[in-house]
């Protein structure tokens, strides 16, 4: 799994997952409104554009992220590890964290676009302030919890990579900082989300350029000496 076309597929999928999320952050994010007035104007953008950026494109984000996650899981398992916990436990944590991230992200997207999607489908209707506030608050907390999964995925990946060199050393070490920031999404929502996307993009680039394959080969060579 850590060699050839599957690895390149994972890298390409990860980059596509990142790119498909960029328009959503350009439109806005639900933690941004800090007052009732800002919350009421959060959906002032054209409903078609809002639903496309925060609803349609995230469909591709989740799909490509799952492909990336599957290849990442195989990459983490392929070199083996010094202990059974590393060889099996930590890659499983990365997989579970990624699934939590994808599942709760999808739920958050759905809740966030619920109101503008209704407008898009049925036309203008009287604004329900309470409904808008509940939608924004619920989607915010879904995103907070989804980043706990991202934190677990990044942390376990870095722990495996430090010992197996499936990722460059600098990226493995940087992953520990990324894991902390994504865990603190409830304090720094935009920064944490963007840092998490940057990590996916960097790991994807390593997959595409073959860095993960070369690192795994060097690890196996050292173990056979």
Instruction: Write out the DSSP string of 130-186.
Output: HHHHHHHHHHHHHHHHHHHHHHHHHHHHHHHHHHH-SS-HHHHHHHHHHHHHHHGGG
Residue 102: predicted pLDDT: 98
Boundaries of domain holding 212:
5-224
Low-confidence ranges of the chain (pLDDT < 50): 1-2, 81-83, 85, 219, 221, 224
Residue 182: predicted pLDDT: 98
CA 8 from centre of chain:
18
Question: Distance between the two ends of the chain, CA-based, in angstroms?
Answer: 23
Residue 87: predicted pLDDT: 56
User: What is the tally of structural domains in the chain?
Assistant: 1
């Amino acid at each position: 799994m850590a060699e050839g076309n599957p690895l390149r597929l994972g890298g390409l999928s990860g980059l596509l997952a990142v790119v498909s999320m960029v328009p959503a952050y350009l439109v806005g994010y639900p933690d941004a409104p800090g007052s009732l007035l800002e919350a009421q104007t959060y959906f002032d953008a054209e409903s078609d554009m809002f639903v496309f950026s925060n609803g349609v494109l995230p469909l591709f984000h989740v799909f490509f992220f799952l492909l990336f996650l599957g290849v990442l899981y195989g990459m983490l398992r392929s070199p083996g590890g010094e202990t059974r916990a590393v060889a099996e436990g930590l890659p499983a944590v990365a997989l579970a964290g990624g699934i939590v991230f994808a599942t709760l992200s999808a739920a958050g997207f759905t809740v966030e676009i619920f109101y503008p999607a209704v407008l898009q489908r049925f036309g203008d209707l009287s604004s329900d302030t309470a409904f808008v506030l509940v939608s924004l608050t619920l989607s915010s907390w879904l995103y907070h919890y989804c980043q706990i999964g991202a934190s677990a995925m990044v942390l376990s990946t870095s722990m495996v990579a430090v010992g197996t060199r499936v990722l460059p050393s600098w990226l493995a070490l940087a992953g520990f900082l990324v894991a902390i920031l994504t865990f603190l999404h409830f304090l720094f929502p935009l920064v944490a989300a963007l840092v998490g996307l940057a990590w996916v993009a960097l790991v994807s680039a390593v997959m595409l350029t073959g860095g993960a394959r070369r690192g795994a080969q060097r690890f196996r060579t050292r173990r056979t000496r």
